[in-house]
């Protein structure tokens, strides 16, 4: 006797709501050429790498490295880009989520906290875009890159890049003084 069995149904599970804590990562060369990527869902919207935590306990530095790899194919801690190239600015902003993106978050969530990072790559690298997220990329001098950003806070982050890198250098190599 044979028994018919029915395979369980594997319907696509709905995505859990996005966590309203994200990173913005300004990718740049030593000459301050900045990578911009164009959003697939909004032609002409150029930005740096951004993305939300996958889970509440995910360290922000891991979120930043993961998003850089997912959106550009650049692996922080890989052969070309050392882990130390990723710099946590220890700075964040809170902004109102654009209404067209609020459906991705839990009901009633309208603000996101974005934490700023940068990563220095040795030169302009070829980028492997995530086609569902981005359609094109550009390397531009930092001031021109800032002028292309659709987000004023992204533009502000890019314009702060020289100052932030200078602060990092002074923290890593403090002036020697004293007797």
Over residues 146-169, the pLDDT tens digits come to: 999 999 999 999 999 999 999 988
pLDDT at 7: 46
| Domains along the sequence of the chain with CATH | 21-172 (3.90.79.10)
What does pTM read for this prediction?
0.88
Cβ-Cβ contacts under 8 Å for 24 (sequence gap 6 or more): 48, 49, 50, 114, 115, 116, 117, 153, 154, 157
Q: What is the per-residue pLDDT across 107-152, written as a single tens digit (0 to 9) for each?
A: 999 999 999 999 999 999 999 999 899 999 999 999 999 999 999 9
**Taking 80 as the threshold, does the pLDDT of residue 46 lie above it?**
yes
* Cα-only R_g, the chain: 20
């Amino acid at each position: 006797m044979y028994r018919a069995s029915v395979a369980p149904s594997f319907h696509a599970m709905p995505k859990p709501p996005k966590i309203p804590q994200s990173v913005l990562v300004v990718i740049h060369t030593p000459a301050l050429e900045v990578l911009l990527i164009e959003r697939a869902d909004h032609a002409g919207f150029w930005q740096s790498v951004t993305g939300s935590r996958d889970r509440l306990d995910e360290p922000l530095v891991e979120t930043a490295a993961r998003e850089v790899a997912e959106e550009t194919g650049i692996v922080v801690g890989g052969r070309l880009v050392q882990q130390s190239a990723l710099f946590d600015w220890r700075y964040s902003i809170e902004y109102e989520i654009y209404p067209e993106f609020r459906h991705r978050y839990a009901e009633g969530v309208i603000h996101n906290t974005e934490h700023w990072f940068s990563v220095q790559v040795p030169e302009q690298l070829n980028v492997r875009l995530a086609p569902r997220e981005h359609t094109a990329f550009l390397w531009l001098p930092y001031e021109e890159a800032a002028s292309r950003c659709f987000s004023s806070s992204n533009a502000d982050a890019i314009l702060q890049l020289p100052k932030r890198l200078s602060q990092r250098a002074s923290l890593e190599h403090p002036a020697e003084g004293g007797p």
